[in-house]
Structure 1
Amino acid sequence: MIALGLPYGELSVLAIGAHPDDIEIACGGTLLTLADRGKVRATFATMTGEPARKAEAMAAAQAFVPGARSLFWDLPDGRLPAHWSDVKEALESLGSELRPDLILSPSRDDSHQDHRLVAELIPTVWRDTLVLEYEIPKWDGDLGSVSTYVPVGDEMAHRKVELLTKHYASQIGRDWWDDEMFLGLMRLRGVECRHRYAEGFVVRKVALDVGH
């Protein structure tokens, strides 16, 4: 396995989620690792969320990437496909002002209709940006193979779990929400790339420069 890195220097990162907590559950370790290296400008964009959930997400964004900008749209949870044009317009509006170096996106193979729609539209707005499609564990059992891994250090992995519990108190009562589940998935992806912990992504398209 060849390890490839992102460019050094300031990096613009756009993390897009259908719902509050999607981003941090799926790629919180990656975001913490990027923030730790410094020089990261992050935008967290979320399609849905009631006021209390938005407040949780705003606080979480600052904890994961200090200085991050949080954007929200008041679209109906669980009904995004019925509002295709509104989702498209939201992403196009964001695309007109932001051309990030890296996008963290839901997966086109996700069983949740909201996640899947957002993922399908992102490449129609940002055609020349590296997109890492993240995975979200859920009862649907839709986890599959990933193509790309971001190793996450022990400290960052446990920090991710700590921040999820701290900032998303509204979700703690759910039967799938616990430290073991979050750490377990990162441990599995870590085994697959010969690290203790990692987060997994799918990359659909990448240009590999071998001329230097």
Structure 2
Amino acid sequence: MRPLALTGVSSLVALGAHPDDIEIAAGGLLLQLATANPGLAVRYVLATGTPARQAEARAAATAFLPGADLTFDLGTLPDGRLPAHWDTVKDQIERAAREARPDLVVAPWSGDAHQDHRTLGTLAPTAFRDALVLHYEIPKWDGDLGRPSVYVPLVEETARRKVSLLHTHFPSQSDRDWWDDEVFLGLARLRGMECRHRYAEAFHTQKLTLTLS
């Protein structure tokens, strides 16, 4: 599979329902974007999170996006209840779209089985109409992995760096029975196999524009 380069990204919005969503799903992409685009402007948006979990998210974002110009918008809505706070979530996303005007958005997938993820995934394309929106996948108990069509290959060093940073910056999650190297690297290996690379992250997208110039 021959790649097309994702170049010229100067502004990114990363949307997550919960602390760790963004890094689990797109940590490799973040590491590569930060390396390729020094000074990348990033608006990091979370809808839920306790103060302790928000502190984890801040530290993780700084580690996954070294050298980036980071702006945080960290919400405190209750976990598992985002559909009941539709207006608040919509306002938060539309504020990010208005103030950041990004080239690229990463957001949950609208087909995700978790109601919080699904809410953000549904709202993202309605707010970001001029940016490429890549909807990420999160491995979890629900067993809802789909058939993504966009792949970001990862060299082994980046894939393993991602997993190491997840362990370092989200210690509150270490007791979960699915939180381990095999889950994170296993999914990356499968997605890599699908695009003829060792490791990869995969995304859904509703629309994209190709240009010859």
TM-score range, shorter chain: over 0.9
3-state SS of 1:206 partner: coil
Alpha-carbon distance in 2 for matches of 1:97, 1:42: 11
Alpha-carbon distance in 1 for matches of 2:29, 2:44: 14
The corresponding residue for 1:53 is 53
Following TM superposition, by how much is the alpha carbon of 1:95 offset from its aligned partner in structure 2, in angstroms?
Answer: 1.8
The within-5 A match list for 1:1-212 is 1-8=1-8, 11-39=10-38, 40-66=40-66, 67=68, 68-210=70-212, 212=213
Alpha-carbon distance in 1 for matches of 2:2, 2:129: 25
3-state SS of 2:23 partner: helix
Alpha-carbon distance in 2 for matches of 1:83, 1:103: 22
Alpha-carbon distance in 1 for matches of 2:126, 2:37: 30
Note the residue ranges of structure 2 that are not aligned, 5 or more in a row. none
Aligned partner letter, 1:146: P
Alpha-carbon distance in 2 for matches of 1:36, 1:84: 35
Following TM superposition, by how much is the alpha carbon of 1:3 offset from its aligned partner in structure 2, in angstroms?
Answer: 1.5
Alpha-carbon distance in 2 for matches of 1:175, 1:27: 21
Q: Percent identity?
A: 57
Note the residue ranges of structure 1 that are not aligned, 5 or more in a row. none
TM, length-normalised to structure 1: 0.96
CA contact (8 A) 2:148 2:203 kept: yes
- Map Cα deviations across residues 46-99 of structure 1 (whole Å, 9 max, x no partner): 000000000000000000002433220121110000111111111122222111
Alpha-carbon distance in 2 for matches of 1:190, 1:94: 32
TM, length-normalised to structure 2: 0.95
CA contact (8 A) 2:43 2:100 kept: no
Q: What RMSD over aligned residues (CA atoms) do the two structures have, in Å?
A: 1.1
Alpha-carbon distance in 1 for matches of 2:169, 2:211: 40
Alpha-carbon distance in 1 for matches of 2:115, 2:18: 12
Alpha-carbon distance in 2 for matches of 1:164, 1:18: 17
* Mean Cα deviation higher: 90-99 or 172-181: 90-99
CA contact (8 A) 1:131 1:203 kept: yes
CA contact (8 A) 1:61 1:70 kept: no
Following TM superposition, by how much is the alpha carbon of 1:177 offset from its aligned partner in structure 2, in angstroms?
Answer: 0.1
